[in-house]
């Protein structure tokens, strides 16, 4: 699968005031995992590289939800120096990661940390609304 990404931002509803932020065509990738979740007021593991049948790493992640959900990305899972990163996945705005490379075990500057990978992705829906989440991993 080759894919194109084009991001257009409409500044005012109902007008043609739009800005193209960027365009790029990417080389072919193979869909390795395609999972769907319905999450309501709970925490779920969306991907764990150590789970049976899971891919060990990815070259592209595409994550979507029809409502806002919180995400937790874990680098070096299970180690005493694991790093957790939290972010919000906004409704109907896809999250794209071009790899699972990350860093852990850093002091004041993340770039001084040890190079590793994201091992686990969890999600939490806090509003009591069923969130339909789709996770696609490509290698």
Digit-coded pLDDT (tens) for 61-119: 999 999 999 999 998 888 877 888 899 999 999 999 988 989 888 878 888 888 889 99
Fold of 29-138: Jelly Rolls (2.60.120)
Q: What is the mean pLDDT of the chain?
A: 83
Residues with Cβ within 8 Å of 56's Cβ and at least 6 positions away in sequence, in order, are 49
Q: What would the two tokens of residue 119 be?
A: 């091992």
Q: 6 — phi, psi (to 5°)?
A: -135, 120
pTM above 0.75, yes or no: yes
pLDDT level of residue 9 (50, 70, 90 thresholds): low
Where do the structural domains in the chain lie, given as residue ranges?
29-138
CA 74, CA 118: separation in Å to the nearest integer?
5
Residues 49-57 have a mean pLDDT of 90
């Amino acid at each position: 699968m080759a894919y194109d990404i084009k991001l257009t931002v409409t500044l005012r509803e109902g007008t043609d005031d739009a800005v193209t932020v960027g365009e790029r065509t990417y080389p072919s990738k193979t869909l390795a995992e395609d999972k769907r979740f319905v999450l309501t007021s709970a925490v779920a593991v969306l991907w764990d590289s150590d789970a049976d049948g899971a891919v060990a790493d990815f070259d592209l992640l595409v994550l979507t939800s029809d409502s806002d959900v919180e995400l937790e990305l874990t680098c070096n899972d299970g180690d005493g120096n694991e790093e957790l990163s939290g972010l919000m996945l906004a409704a109907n705005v896809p999250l794209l990661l071009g790899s699972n490379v990350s860093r852990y075990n850093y002091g004041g500057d993340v770039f001084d940390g040890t190079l590793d990978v994201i091992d686990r992705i969890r999600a939490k829906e806090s509003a009591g609304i069923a969130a339909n989440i789709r996770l696609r991993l490509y290698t």
